[in-house]
Structure 1
């Protein structure tokens, strides 16, 4: 497989990850709203570390949302510009799935319920189960009030992760009860997990989409600027 570069700017974190042979080179930083002044420098840093140029890559991946309106647009815009310049396809990856993949990587979780603070009294909600080297959805992603989230099926021990568990801790604890056995309320997306999910899709035969066809995922008609 040719080199693969992944980018995430959908939350207050900014990260990139580059597959170069057997190595994965990463940069991750909590930047608040400083993505536009950080992400391209991160891209250049990992390419220089690997001794590669954009034209040496086979594809790009990016977290396409949901997340902050500004962050989602920056990540997609940067990815589109890089992809167009090097004539590369793009693998868009759900931000929620990326968070779930990170929880599987660090906690060894088999079932993950992601709740990211969406502001306006709502959370971005998605449930995932580990499958092979990646995760698959267990129900549709949605933006909902924290007192209406629903776990799919019964009998599973779920790991809850994402900023929604900090913002709405009591409501989610009451709603989900003992089905969620561990909570990671500070979990943010990391490009290394976006990279891993994109690699799973490429290995399964996905070819990506043209840069101009990458579409942001907001999950709501109203968007926040944060």
Structure 2
């Protein structure tokens, strides 16, 4: 894979940008929960200058499509769409949960990852992923928003050793400790654009891109998100 892909993510407290040019990776990342709009575009400029390329040189623009903070997801997709429109680039939405799975593999070699992001309202955004031989990831559990208590009741025991990722494990430690699966504590708390850009390669190779006007977020709690917008009550 030798594509040129820019990725950005603001779906959680972490603000990150990554640019892949062939086998080289240029990254910026900072935990800045209230400063995404100030941080992300300067990060984009920095990685493009460091790599010596322009937006017009790229093959695609990837973004963290959620789940995550409603505001953060909207900021990320809005900025990504603006960049993609201006440079006429196809877009690739990547799951923030899958990105954390890839981050757990990158940092710890984990091949089976259980991801839980604190979704507030006593719920988590949940998903489990297993790494395939080609380096891609398959969903074991479909992404969902669920209370830890209900998750503990519904989850079936298996023989795999899962690596935990995401903020939900600390936020609901007592309830998630009741899960029947074997889970090892992990330190990947947030998705990162360098993992999003890695996953985006597979989607680009399969032709899974959309035009900028059709790029869409994944909230998993759509009704609540849309009710917060003016005119959507």
Structure 2 length normalisation: TM-score? 0.91
Aligned to 1:62: 63
> Is the 8 Å Cα contact of residues 165 and 185 (structure 1) preserved in structure 2?
no
Normalising by structure 1, we get a TM-score of 0.93
SS at match of 1:138: strand
Alignment-derived partner of residue 52 in structure 1? 53
Q: What is the CA distance between 1:57 and its match in structure 2?
A: 0.4
Secondary structure of the corresponding residue to residue 164 of structure 2: strand
Alpha-carbon offset, residue 186 of structure 1: 5.0
Q: How does 1:1-226 map to 2 (within 5 A)?
A: 1-131=2-132, 132-149=134-151, 150-151=154-155, 154-176=158-180, 179-180=182-183, 182-184=184-186, 187-203=189-205, 205-220=206-221, 221-223=223-225
SS of corresponding position for 1:199? helix
CA offset digits 1:155-201 (Å, max 9, x no partner): 11111111000100111012245x11x11255200000000100122
Residues 4, 60 of structure 2: 8 Å contact kept: yes
Could you tell me which runs of 5 or more consecutive residues in structure 2 were left unpaired when the two chains were aligned: 229-233
Aligned-residue Cα RMSD (Å) equals 1.6
How far apart, CA to CA, are the structure 2 residues paired with 1:152 and 1:109? 20
Q: SS of the residue aligned with 2:224?
A: coil
Please tell me whether the aligned partners of residues 4 and 61 of structure 1 are also in contact (alpha carbons under 8 angstroms): yes
Structure 2 residue matching 1:77: 3-state secondary structure: helix
Classify the secondary structure of the residue corresponding to 1:25: strand
Q: Which runs of 5+ in 1 are unaligned?
A: none
SS in 2 for 1:140: strand
Q: Figure out how many residues of one structure are paired with residues of the other and give that number.
A: 222
Alpha-carbon distance in 1 for matches of 2:56, 2:13: 29
Maintained 8 Å contact 1:102/1:190: yes
Contact 2:100 2:188 (8 Å CA) reproduced: no
